[in-house]
Structure 1
């Protein structure tokens, strides 16, 4: 049996509640979008240049509503959320078994990485300002949509190369079957998690045994 040297984790539905992102983070970004852009015109100009149309705010708000996996939106959301985390308005949700699993793997010498459609900046905020405290010291790296779509095997091949280990030495965990399929197609070990108890490989990170 191949030894697992690294764990790659999805966020929504895997380490953290989907509701937190949909019901807390997205509405927060939508409420503060226009005022943030107005207050940081020069900083966000390169990001807005990647957004089509004349009314950039309207386009971005529409993207938030439909959960568009667009890099400029994810980047801008990350900047807005950073303010909320910094002033204590926001705290990143993690399931109780998440910090426990991270600690178990970390102390066993397993490298832990995150791969989410949310920007790397946003990922660091969720784990750096989580309800369980700062979890980032246990994380070795982060990947987002700049690496590639999560449902394409090529993205996982790129991640494998970046990690510097063999695909079979990496275990990916996600709540989305197409993502699990893509990871397996790239040679990674992969588990489907369903926290609601539906058909899946596991229902908690505590079930992952390396």
Structure 2
């Protein structure tokens, strides 16, 4: 997932991913790496095979390996780069597939055709303050709001909707819409400011 956290669009943004032996079945340099969009279209990309020891000085301090692993590092990695354009506060979903260089057969990695469904089992989560008690389902959806002073309960349901560009290039806003049967209400509390409406 590539996410643009800025409120304006970004064109030609470079994305870089490091792939190691845990991502491929063995040496990642033995495969051709292909990037696909959510619509199974290949993305123009560039893959460079390098030694993991060469990256020891270029990683950030949080992810930098210790000196022993740097000096003994003889494993190979693939530095994958591709560009994408994302609108403000939007994301793009891409799939990385390893394909054998000697034939067109892939390593068995497949592009998912649908998003996994989250398991909604479990206990509800309650958040409250002096005025409101908000109930969320186990998978994070808003379920109901109880107004303590008025002794009223408002029941909600959420439908997640993605907005796509006309080009159908796999970019979506990731926005969601909450629907309720009550008159549009502005709920302020718990540090939340959520506009809901029918």
Q: Which has the higher helix share?
A: 1
Greater length-normalized contact order (CA 8 Å, ≥ 6 residues apart): 1
Q: TM-score, normalised by structure 1?
A: 0.24
Q: TM-score, normalised by structure 2?
A: 0.24
- Choose 1 or 2 for highest CA Rg: 2
Q: Which has the higher strand share?
A: 2
